[in-house]
Amino acid sequence: MKLVEVLIERKANTLNRPFSYIYKGTKPVDIGYRVLVSFAHKNVIGYVINVNDEKRSVEQLEKDMGFRIEEIIDVIDDKPLLNTELMQLSNEVASHYVSPLISVLQAMLPSSLKPATSAMRGPKIAYDVFVKLKNDTEEGLTPKQIELVRLIRSAGKILKKDCKSPSILQKLVDKKIVEFEKVEKIRLEIPEYKKEHKKALTDDQKKAVESILNTDKTVTLLQGVTGSGKTEVYLSISEKILAQGRNVLMLVPEISLTPIMVEYFQRRFSGDVAILHSELTPAEKYDEYRRISRGECHVVVGARSAIFAPLDNIGLIILDEEHTESYKQDSLPFYHAREVAIMRAKHFNSKVVLGSATPSLETKARALKGVYHYAELPNRINKQELPKTAIIDMSKAYSFSRESSMFSKYLIEQLKGVLERKEQAILLINRRGHSGYITCRSCGHIIKCPNCGIALTYHRDDNLLKCHHCGHVELNDEHCPECGSKYLSRSGFGTERIVDEVHKLFPEARVLRLDSDVGEVRNNIAKTVEAFANLEADILVGTQMIAKGHDFPNVTLVGVVLADIGLSLPSFRSTERAFQLITQAVGRSGRADKVGQAIIQTFNPYHYAIVLASKQNYEAFFRKEMSVRKVAQYPPYTYLTSLEIIGKNKDNVEEIISKIGRDIEKQNFENLTVLGPVEPYIAYENNNYHRIILIKYKNYDKINQYLKDVLESLKSKSQINVKVNVDPYDF
């Protein structure tokens, strides 16, 4: 008989410990195997972290341990799910991020292999299930149900697995509003691209490739202005590494950029590329995951979680657009792909390349200090000048005509020119939906989310009010919920409203929209990008999604409709983020043989982030922002960790977090300060109070152990939950 320790997926800190089971069966079972066990009267999949032979009888064992021990129902795997390196990595990540090991395993494994709370979920899907409208009515439906009905109506049919809430879908099925349609499943097909004709590298590119290959430092920052040909450098180094018989992991910041990068790699290394990102279906992911672990491909391209790809013998890890915040997971274990990349690189003794036109301050500072190697591509490939930019002061009446209150006279004039010359334009507004928020003109009430208190956004496409934080949805009944007045006004504007404005001003122009609402329906993002690249539209309106990575040669004008969104957010990173976004957006213009132009509309025309972004002057921005961070003692001058307590009893939550804060300060750690407790941005959600402290320090090692002890000591407190976020993105 074996005594087996099993981890089970539980969010609560109190349950962040292994549970003991016995196994009398004959199948081999070891660390890293998944097992089926009964937990709280449910069959769940657990993950084995320890196995010991047990000589005692069950009765004796239970007597010694003081509780009843159940038997493992079945052993699922016939070999461990993770190899030794990944197992070690999971422990290292859990330890560094002071997070439950189970949360790291959840982040690492494709969903079909995860230890799940629900019972067996196999990847044996043989068909796609679509949802169609059967009875097109909204009568008697809740707002959430209506939201889904309107999505299906606009798309024709959607994949069942794209419906975020199975329970809402089930209600619609019960009410006979929707029905299913089964279509034979097409597993991921990576198109066979013709092997490409390699480009001759420019001198700058050659120099960069050589210096990256020759450095003995693990990490290189590859800084290159937009359009300087970083991708070609990635491909060229990859080729050299593959020729040495070692493998390559290529990370891109967003799903929308994977197809393009996959195409580049597939063309160069045909057949040898696997893809991992969250838009793949569970079955596709499972296939790719198995293909990688069997060693059948030597290049993996994917978004953040691909950093955990079961690729062996890694020689090179590349993070494109390394400054992008999507590399940081915003839920437990709050890992950053860059840090995990460095952990894996240490293990394999491989190289890490961080590419960006606007490196994060942390990365640039490390490169300047010599912690990272530095390589650069200072010029655009075609020697094309950077786009000419104009900053338009939105607070000045003379900037606008009666034609439009959103598009300045200058922007309208330039858009006209683009349309006449049959070129293309991109309009950036970093807010989706139609308008920012809705106020009552009678009583001044702002319509807010009942769960989290954030102003709701009006979405014209499906005529609903939505919370961009928690997903709460309300019908747009055009009355003030406070005083009943009909006089509501919509302030601020988002992508949908910009599309309307373009239609109004240029009825003949063909317009496409790209934001995460568009991404609700699978493959829509890729389709939109492709359609715009194929010149099927004249103007692309979108959020930050359009600012990154894409290479649209016919775009000669980029308009940032309102550059200020983001600048005012309460985060020490908001200025850096605004600078990066505008710089990236401006860089989309004039990439081929035509000179590009950018127009930045703003209420802060003299703000350094906006002025320097318009000039694409990263170095000056870096110096200025570093001096701001130094005064305020924010990263990269210090490190941060936040600790959050969540619970239903406000007094209890505040008492516990205050005590933790005071206790840390009493420890006399060098150069350490505790800020707060404060209410985070979302302070109350779904009947739970959130309070947070922020710990600033210079040396992480000591505080890491201390935080682990704090979490251990909180395990007895079942009324509260706790989350630690090391290097939080916002604060």
Q: Which residues of 610-641 are buried (b: 16+ CB within 10 A; e: fewer)?
A: bbbbbebbbeebbebbbeebeeeebbbebbbb
From the CB of 584, what's the least distance to ligand ADP, in Å?
9
- In one-letter notation, the amino acid at residue 116 is A
Instruction: Round to whole Å and give the CA distance between 444 and 438.
Output: 10
Q: Which does 485 bind (CB under 5 to 8 A by kind): ligand ADP, Zn ion, none?
A: Zn ion
Instruction: Round to whole Å and give the CA distance between 320 and 202.
Output: 20
From the CB of 535, what's the least distance to ligand ADP, in Å?
16
Q: Given the complex with Zn ion, which of 683 and 711 has the nearer CB atom?
A: 683
Closest CA to 329 of 356, 307, 359, 351: 307
- In one-letter notation, the amino acid at residue 721 is N
The piece of 11-19, 196-204, 270-278, 674-682 that touches ligand ADP (CB under 6 A) is: 196-204
Q: Given the complex with ligand ADP, which of 113 and 581 has the nearer CB atom?
A: 581
The piece of 302-310, 476-484, 614-622, 641-649 that touches Zn ion (CB under 5 A) is: 476-484
- In one-letter notation, the amino acid at residue 644 is E
Pairing of strands 720-726, 639-647: antiparallel
Return the residues of window 485-524 that contact Zn ion according to CB under 5 A: 485
- In one-letter notation, the amino acid at residue 227 is G
- Which of 95, 202, 211, 704 touches ligand ADP by CB under 6 A? 202
| DSSP state letters, 282-347 | HHHHHHHHHHHHTT--SEEEESGGGGG----SEEEEEETTTT-GGGB-SSTT--BHHHHHHHHHHH
The piece of 157-165, 208-216, 228-236, 557-565 that touches ligand ADP (CB under 6 A) is: 228-236
Q: Which does 381 bind (CB under 5 to 8 A by kind): ligand ADP, Zn ion, none?
A: ligand ADP
Tokens standing for residue 447: 């319509």
Return the residues of window 421-460 that contact Zn ion according to CB under 5 A: 440, 442-443, 445, 449, 451-452
Is 196 an interacting residue with respect to ligand ADP (CB under 6 A)? Answer: no
Which H/E stretch holds residue 264? helix 258-268
From the CB of 5, what's the least distance to ligand ADP, in Å?
47
The piece of 127-135, 221-229, 387-395, 690-698 that touches ligand ADP (CB under 6 A) is: 221-229
From the CB of 382, what's the least distance to ligand ADP, in Å?
7
Is 322 an interacting residue with respect to ligand ADP (CB under 6 A)? Answer: no
Helix 84-96 with 337-348: angle, nearest 10 deg: 140
Instruction: Round to whole Å and give the CA distance between 661 and 669.
Output: 13
- Which of 65, 183, 368, 483 touches Zn ion by CB under 5 A? 483
Closest CA to 489 of 481, 478, 475, 502: 478
Q: How many residues bind Zn ion (CB under 5 A)?
A: 15
Is 596 an interacting residue with respect to ligand ADP (CB under 6 A)? Answer: no
Q: Which residues of 171-203 are buried (b: 16+ CB within 10 A; e: fewer)?
A: bbeeeebbeeeeeeeeeeeeeebeeeeeeebbe
- Which of 16, 90, 205, 597 touches ligand ADP by CB under 6 A? 205
Instruction: Round to whole Å and give the CA distance between 7 and 48.
Output: 6
- In one-letter notation, the amino acid at residue 422 is K
Q: Given the complex with ligand ADP, which of 230 and 268 has the nearer CB atom?
A: 230
From the CB of 164, what's the least distance to Zn ion, in Å?
15
Is 387 an interacting residue with respect to ligand ADP (CB under 6 A)? Answer: no
Is 466 an interacting residue with respect to Zn ion (CB under 5 A)? Answer: no
Q: Given the complex with ligand ADP, which of 202 and 638 has the nearer CB atom?
A: 202
Instruction: Round to whole Å and give the CA distance between 312 and 341.
Output: 13
Return the residues of window 356-385 that contact ligand ADP according to CB under 6 A: 381
Is 163 an interacting residue with respect to ligand ADP (CB under 6 A)? Answer: no
Q: Given the complex with Zn ion, which of 20 and 442 has the nearer CB atom?
A: 442
Instruction: Give a three-class secondary structure readout of 179-208.
Output: EEEEEECCCCCCCCCCCCCCCCCCHHHHHH
The piece of 200-208, 458-466, 559-567, 666-674 that touches ligand ADP (CB under 6 A) is: 200-208
The answer to whether 307 and 301 are in contact (CB under 8 A) is no
For residues 533 to 562, the per-residue mask of contacts with ligand ADP, x marking binding by CB under 6 A and - elsewhere, is ------------------x-----------
Name the residues that contact ligand ADP, by CB under 6 A. Answer: 199-202, 205, 224, 226-232, 381, 551
Name the residues that contact Zn ion, by CB under 5 A. Answer: 440, 442-443, 445, 449, 451-452, 467, 469-470, 472, 480, 482-483, 485
